[in-house]
Amino acid sequence: MTSLPENKRLAIHGGTPVRHKLLPYGRHSLDSADIDAVVEVLKSDWLTTGPKVEEFEERLAERVGAQHAISFSSGTAALHGTAFAAKLESGDEAITTPLTFCATANCVLYQGASPIFADISPDTLNLDPAKVLEKITPRTKAIFAVDYAGHPAELDKLQALAKNQGALLIEDASHALGAIYKGERIGSIADMTVFSFHPVKHITTGEGGMVTTNDSKLAETLRRFRNHGISSEARQRQEAGQWHYEMVLLGFNYRLTDIACALGISQLEKLDENLRRRRELAAAYTAAFRDLALLEVPAVHKESDPAWHLYPVRLNLETLTATRSEVFQALRAENIGVNVHYVPVHLHPYYRDRFGTKEGDFPVAEDAYERLISLPMFHSMTQQDMRDVIEAIVKVSSHYQLSDAKGERSRLLGARG
């Protein structure tokens, strides 16, 4: 138990860590059914673009309530597909959030168009529709919303803004497979929705991605784009006994293999259980931390049921004698594998150099970034893992708690110059 003084001493100061083995912030879950499904494909006639691709696409479309699903070799390739299908090109603009993985904005650059950042809402850290409105110009062709941590963006308002402008709403739902917004499933709402099957996401295919849409024109373009721009697939030709094919647009080889799709089909069967566990962990964290003055738990809107890819807390730095970086290191020393999501995209050297973006451009995103720490959140976490995280957070944050909030803070700030 933790009553010994030795256990109160932070591991970073030589005390005993809360746990002996590092708990990662995210991790895939694979079982023997997943492995068998892959082995079966390895023994079959099709390793790529065979029956498993179609089956995975159909099942995912059905799961999220969309008419079409088009698989890609990664979430990033899928994002590139949406930027192409939205007809983004040089001179066009697409509005997106700075608080995301860089791939969301990069896909706009792949098309030669300009990513235009808009600041986020301080509660959910999703795109603020009022800030998006300020950034709309006659050149705006798309809005790329991100469902940060798995909490749906304000899709109704963003869809209305996009429609008004004749632009498309594209949703990067890499965090949000299984999330619900106003009773509707994520994947059936925006003009195009992107999912990722990277191993830290809800379900994995190793690498992989998917676009879902209810628009058959967009679906056709996406299918061609991921296959060199060719208007038919090798399997269709083989089955029809044909050799002739036509390339009708400039695409890429962004295909997902049958091997990967067999894994995806098998993983999808466990999505509900995965979501249930994530929601349970999130509820336990929120109950444990709600009354801690030292941090803020993630906000959840009434009309949303998040998918909890991440559980990001924000430190109330005003009540702490430490910076985020010190708290982060202290939690790592306790063997709690925390992470930070994300370095705001406009602050990456590439964006600074190319677009002249800088600190101060997006104050809400930057303030959040200074405070954010993602706690471990994945399907196979045990109750003991969860208790370790809670214990470590309480241990570390109470160590760094200001006793005399005002005096201590100014003394520290003074001492640091």
Ligand X SMILES: *Cc1c(COP(=O)(O)O)cnc(C)c1O
| C-alpha to C-alpha distance for 217 and 107, rounded to whole angstroms | 20
Measure CA of the first residue to CA of the last residue in the chain; give whole Å.
Answer: 40
Q: Measured from the CB of residue 342, what is the shortest distance to ligand X in angstroms?
A: 8
The torsion of the CA quartet 345, 349, 352, 354, rounded to 10 degrees, works out to -110
Among residue numbers 122 through 151, which ones bind ligand X (CB under 6 A)? 146
Q: Which is nearer to ligand X, 100 or 304 (CB)?
A: 100
Instruction: Give residue 58's identity as a one-letter amino acid code.
Output: E
**Catalytic position from the list 52, 141, 201, 395:** 201
Q: Which is nearer to ligand X, 102 or 394 (CB)?
A: 102
For the chain, the maximum distance between any two Cα atoms, rounded to a whole number of angstroms, is 81
By CB under 6 A, name the one of 96, 159, 174, 339 that touches ligand X.
174
Judge whether 99 and 344 are in contact, CB under 8 Å: yes
Going by the DSSP 8-state scheme, the letter that residue 68 receives in this structure is E
Residue 172 binding ligand X, by CB under 6 A: yes
CB-based contacts of 417: which residues, under 8 Å, 6+ apart?
Answer: none
Element (H, E) at 314: strand 311-315
Q: Which is nearer to ligand X, 71 or 114 (CB)?
A: 71
CB-based contacts of 121: which residues, under 8 Å, 6+ apart?
Answer: 127, 128, 154, 364
Q: For ligand X, which residue has the nearest CB?
A: 75
For tokens 């706690």, the residue is 375
Residue 74 binding ligand X, by CB under 6 A: yes
Q: Which is nearer to ligand X, 165 or 205 (CB)?
A: 205
**Tokens representing residue 143 in the block:** 């809005």
The pairing of strands 311-315 and 372-375 is antiparallel
Nearest to 67 by CA among 226, 191, 232, 197: 191
Q: Measured from the CB of residue 74, what is the shortest distance to ligand X in angstroms?
A: 4
Stretch that binds ligand X, among 68-76, 251-259, 324-332, 378-386 (CB under 6 A): 68-76
DSSP 100-136: S-THHHHHHHHTT-EEEE--B-TTT-SB-HHHHHHH-
Q: Measured from the CB of residue 125, what is the shortest distance to ligand X in angstroms?
A: 12
By CB under 6 A, name the one of 82, 104, 121, 267 that touches ligand X.
104
Residue 209 binding ligand X, by CB under 6 A: yes
Among residue numbers 313 through 332, which ones bind ligand X (CB under 6 A)? none
By CB under 6 A, name the one of 38, 103, 294, 393 that touches ligand X.
103
Residue 253: helix, strand or coil by DSSP? strand
Q: Which is nearer to ligand X, 104 or 214 (CB)?
A: 104
Q: Which is nearer to ligand X, 69 or 146 (CB)?
A: 146
By CB under 6 A, name the one of 15, 75, 129, 264 that touches ligand X.
75
Judge whether 261 and 205 are in contact, CB under 8 Å: yes
Residue 226 binding ligand X, by CB under 6 A: no
By CB under 6 A, name the one of 141, 198, 278, 379 that touches ligand X.
198
Residue 201 appears among annotated catalytic residues: yes
Site residues (CB under 6 A) for ligand X?
74-76, 100-101, 103-104, 146, 172, 174-175, 196, 198, 209
Which residues are part of the catalytic machinery? 201
